[in-house]
Copies of this chain bind each other. A is one copy, B any other.
Amino acid sequence: MAPNITKKIKEIALRVTPQRHAILKFLEGNVTHPSAENIHHKLLKKMPNISFTTVYNTLSKLVEAGKIQEVYIDPNKKRFDPRIDPHHHFYCKVCGKVFDVGYDAPFSVIINPLNTKKLDGHQVDEIQIYIKGLCKDCRSKR
């Protein structure tokens, strides 16, 4: 098993299991923002007994530990993203694909989470920017 993935698991969970390893390996570098069901379905091919509950629970733990993030841009289900550096998301209303969008444009965002004054005293923990529309592929089909 890849040592870097094993290391990641040890950082957050006590035990290293083949299931957890497979889930993290599948997510690594994955830019499709899969749902829990997507992930489970794909892993079943190589690991025919892995249960949905295990996938679901592992994803929850990874999110809780800050190793991956949940993306709520899809109205129907949670999507998961291994990238945790600052970036935005684009959701295609036609095909449902989710794309990463760079932190810069087509808008500039200057965030200062420490300043709660203009947020009526609320404490800001995270800011997510969701962009919706028609993706490049679906556009070219029109």
Residue positions of A touching B, CB distance < 8 A:
70, 72-73, 75, 78, 90, 92-93, 99, 101-102, 104-113, 115-136, 139
Contacts and interface: CB of A to CB of B under 8 A. Distances in A.
A134 B104 CA distance: 27
B106 A109 contact: no
Contact of A78 (B75, B123, B127): B75
A126 B123 CA distance: 26
Contacts of A104: 118
Given A72-B72, A126-B131, A130-B130, A120 B107 contact: no
Contacts of A136: 120-122
User: Interface centre among A90, A119, A128, A133, by most B CB within 10 Å?
Assistant: A119
